[in-house]
Amino acid sequence: MKRQEHNRNQADPLEAHVRDYESIRPLYEEFANRIAELLKHLLESSGIGYQAIEQRAKEIQSFKEKLKRPGKSYRDPLNEITDLCGVRVIVYYTEDARRVADLVRKEFCVDEKLSVDKASALSVQEFGYSSLHLVAGLATERAMLREWRRFKGFRAEVQIRTVLQHSWAAISHALQYKNEAGVPKSLRRRLYRLSGLLELADQEFSSLRMGHESVEKVIEASTDSALRTATIDRVTLDEFLSRSEIVAPIVQMATTAGFTVDKGSDEQSVTNLARACSHARLATIENLEHALREIEPMEGQFFAKAFQNVGTPVWRASASFCVLLAVILAYTDAFSVETLSAYGWDESIAELVIQAAKEAKR
């Protein structure tokens, strides 16, 4: 009987801590959501692209299991445990992971002693994913703001990873490989290779990005004559759309017909324009310009027919989409409903646009 009472008394402190956390967990959930929204705003305003931002507050059962973990002893777990709420930022490039870390250090109060760079923590013989874990609290100025006051003293673990690092973490977690000791010896070499390949892939993606930016600068600095002889791709099309005098009349024709044309170009239609040029066997920007000049007399009728056939009261388009429509007009016989459907078009709209192109050529 005395032993049963002793065990119950030993369990009471743990249950009390669990109840304390259970009562305050909704506030940690709100804190995680607020931090995630703030990070989205900070990344977007800084021009840092990201694949996803995730957030969560630690589950009650997970909190309880952490208190019971062997080798752990908490007097004040609500203040000692640093990952009661967490935010994960997944970026595309390793250099952007560093930029996000710098941003977090600038905007939050980061506890460097409790934060860890997983890459630095791994020895050269170990496999694993390289991500940054920063323990961040509110900076003094933000903590004084009315909407943040109730989170004063709260901390969040901000994990920063690339897409490939996140893939490694997710798959190794699914395999239940937390560390080297848990991996069957016969599989360790394969995991070493995979870990190295992913690290090399991250480096290569960063190198490709720098190469792309270098090509963009060369094209932007090129003369008009050099641009005309350039091979059609996403970069040269972007420059053509911003520079060529032939684009404005096409946009004007579409506007007169009833299209609502937004300034600039959108990524998807530029990509589809590149695909359409390849499909029509247009190799260079000069080939594209020549094709567009050939159909100038038919453009007004075509855009009017396309708008009339589709029958939408508001058809929004970008300059790049208008040029894409013009390429379809120039090479009507080369395009089919199936071709345009592969570009993500609705089949009915694809059919009506092709019909409008055929009618304009009669």
pLDDT in tens, 243-292: 999 999 999 999 999 999 987 778 899 999 999 999 999 999 999 999 99
What's the pLDDT score for residue 242?
92
Half-sphere exposure of 303 (CA within 13 A, CB side): 28
Angle between helices 285-294 and 234-243 (to 10 degrees): 50
**pLDDT classification of 1: cutoffs 50, 70, 90:** very low
What's the pLDDT score for residue 33?
97
Q: DSSP alpha helices (H): ranges in 46-149?
A: 60-68, 77-80, 94-107, 118-121, 140-143
Q: Choose among 120, 92, 88, 93: nearest CA to 104.
A: 88
The CATH number fitting domain 2-203, selected from 3.30.460.10, 3.40.50.720, 2.60.40.1180, 3.30.565.10 = 3.30.460.10
Distances in Å between the Cα of 175 and the Cα atoms of 121, 194, 209 are 22, 14, 32
What's the pLDDT score for residue 308?
87
Residues 36-48: tens digit of each pLDDT: 999 999 999 999 9
Name the more confident of 180 and 219.
219
- Tokens describing residue 87: 């935010």
In the block, residue with structure tokens 């694993």: 128
**pLDDT classification of 192: cutoffs 50, 70, 90:** confident
Output the CA torsion sign for 252, 253, 258, 261.
Answer: negative
Contact 63, 120 (CB under 8 A): no
**203 pLDDT higher than 70:** yes
Rounded Cα distance, 96 and 90, in Å: 10
Angle between helices 94-107 and 185-220 (to 10 degrees): 80
Rounded Cα distance, 32 and 85, in Å: 6
What's the whole-number mean pLDDT along residues 150-178?
Answer: 83
Rounded Cα distance, 307 and 356, in Å: 9
Provide the pairing of β-strand 155-162 with 132-138: antiparallel
- Tokens describing residue 169: 């973490």
62-71, 79-88, 230-239: segment of lowest average pLDDT: 62-71
Rounded Cα distance, 109 and 135, in Å: 8
Q: Where are the beta strands (DSSP E) in the chain?
A: 50-57, 85-91, 108-117, 132-138, 155-162, 260-262, 316-318
What's the pLDDT score for residue 121?
54
- Tokens describing residue 200: 């090399």
Q: What is the pTM of this model?
A: 0.74
Contact 325, 353 (CB under 8 A): yes
Domain boundaries, the chain: 2-203, 224-360
In degrees, rounded to 5, the angle at the alpha carbon of residue 193 between the alpha carbons of residues 187 and 198 is 125
CA 7 to chain centre: 51
